[in-house]
Amino acid sequence: MKKPIIVVPTYNELDNIRRLLPSLLALPVEADVLVVDDNSPDGTGNAVLEFADTGRIHLLSRPEKAGLGQAYIAGFKWSLEHEEYDPVVQMDADFSHNPDKVPELIKALENHDLAIGSRYCSGVNVVNWPLSRLLLSWFANHYTKVITGLPIMDATGGFKAFRRSALEKLDLDSIRSDGYSFQIEVTYKLFRDGCSVAEVPIIFVDRHAGTSKMTKSIVWEAVWMVWRLRFPGLF
Ligand SMILES: Nc1nc2c(ncn2[C@@H]2O[C@H](COP(=O)(O)OP(=O)(O)O)[C@@H](O)[C@H]2O)c(=O)[nH]1
Ligand SMILES: [Mg+2]
């Protein structure tokens, strides 16, 4: 019997992870969880280990902060190495992604290879973001759609579920993004390779605890990445 695995990247998410892990354990889908922590100075990794006796929470500890994209790649490789896992879900640790939506994302995989939790497929469902951040995200998604041709309203979000067979198609070592453009790159490559994509409406709520790791360089990386994806020979 295959079991879902939820991959959660963390950097300084102590307060959040202590609350998130119990809510993931309580889900009806009985998933395991892999936290990919970059040696957070606030001790997030140690808090994860406190759940080890459940047998369902795993910690992949990396020596230093090396970016969201690389954390996901490490988490995906770990999940694929363990044959009991299918599907693979990814989500943030800060409750911007509602744990209760995980079963719905998994359900969408009955008919699709990839399911994306989407903030923009039925209006704009973002709560508590400053207008500047919302505009940035909204424009980033329109820009991505125009340049890459991806028929998806929310290509930058990080709440997704993959069939194992879809993830296996990805050449994880060829993925170049470090930051948020990782989300665009993965979805674009799977769509290009013929995977079907479902958008599941979600409400995204800004974090209450901890701080965002979004930086200007992460935004610029995404600005260039979409051109690289569309015209791979040019860069
Ligand atoms: N392991 C790891 N996790 C990261 C890194 N950067 C961000 N994260 C995690 O990725 C998720 C999304 O980051 P967040 O700062 O909330 O981004 P925002 O929601 O766009 O402001 C959170 O769970 C972070 O802790 C990183 O370099 N390494
Ligand atoms: Mg966040």
Tell me the per-residue pLDDT of 5-29, one tens digit each, with 9 for 90 and over.
999 999 999 999 999 999 999 999 9
Question: Which run of H or E residues covers position 70?
Answer: helix 68-81
Ligand nearest to the Cα of 42, by number: 1
pLDDT digits (tens, 9 = 90+) for 162-207: 999 999 999 999 998 887 789 999 999 999 999 999 999 999 999 9
CA of 233 to the centre of ligand 2 (A): 33
- CA-8 nearest atom, ligand 1: 23
Three-class DSSP category at 64 = coil
Q: According to the 3-state scheme, what is the secondary structure of 161-199?
A: EECHHHHHHCCHHHCCCCCCHHHHHHHHHHHHCCCCEEE
For residue 32, how far is its CA from the centre of ligand 1 (angstroms)?
A: 20
As beta bridge partners, residue 88 has 5, 162
55-69, 77-91, 199-213: the lowest-pLDDT one: 199-213
Rounded-to-integer distance, Cα 91 and Cα 166, Å:
17
In the CATH scheme, what is the homologous superfamily, with its name and number, of domain 3-234?
Spore Coat Polysaccharide Biosynthesis Protein SpsA; Chain A (3.90.550.10)
CB atoms inside a 10 Å sphere around CB 53: 8
Ligand 1, atom nearest to 92 Cα: 23
Q: Is the pLDDT of residue 123 over 70?
A: yes
Ligand 1: which residue has its CA nearest to atom 22? Answer: 92
Query: Across the chain, how many H-helices and E-strands are there?
Result: 8, 9
Amino acid of residue 55: G
CA of 123 to the centre of ligand 1 (A): 25
pTM score of the predicted model: 0.95
Q: Which ligand is nearest to the CA of 48?
A: 1
CA distances from 12 to 17, 160, 234 (A): 9, 22, 37
- When pLDDT is cut at 50, 70 and 90, the band that residue 115 belongs to is very high
Let me know: does 178 contact 221? Beta carbons within 8 Å.
yes
Pocket of ligand 1 (CB under 6 A): 9-11, 13, 36-38, 65, 67-68, 71, 92-94, 96, 207, 212-214
Residue to mutate, 36, 68, 126, 141, ligand 1, most ligand atoms under 8 Å from C-beta = 68
Sign, CA dihedral 149-150-151-156, equals negative
Indicate the range of 16-20, 117-121, 137-141, 202-206 predicted with least confidence: 137-141
